[in-house]
């Protein structure tokens, strides 16, 4: 069975938009409970 080995990447304020854009998480999931911070940071 083939496998895919991924390198873990820490999620920071600087790259969280990539996580959403690449489809790994939705904005709603990332911003749950921190909507004000997401809005303030353009997410």
pTM of the model: 0.68
CA pair distance 16, 8, nearest whole angstrom: 14
The pair of three-digit structure tokens given for residue 39, joined into one six-digit string: 């809005």
CB count in 10 Å sphere of residue 32: 10
- In order along its 43 residues, the chain shows pLDDT tens digits of 899 998 998 999 899 999 999 999 999 999 999 999 999 999 9
Contact predicate 14/41, CB 8 Å:
no
Helix, strand, or coil here: 29?
helix
């Amino acid at each position: 069975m083939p496998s895919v080995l991924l390198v873990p990447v820490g999620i920071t304020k600087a790259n969280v938009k990539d996580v959403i854009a690449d489809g790994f998480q939705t904005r709603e999931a990332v911003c749950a409970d921190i909507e004000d911070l997401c809005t303030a940071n353009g997410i």
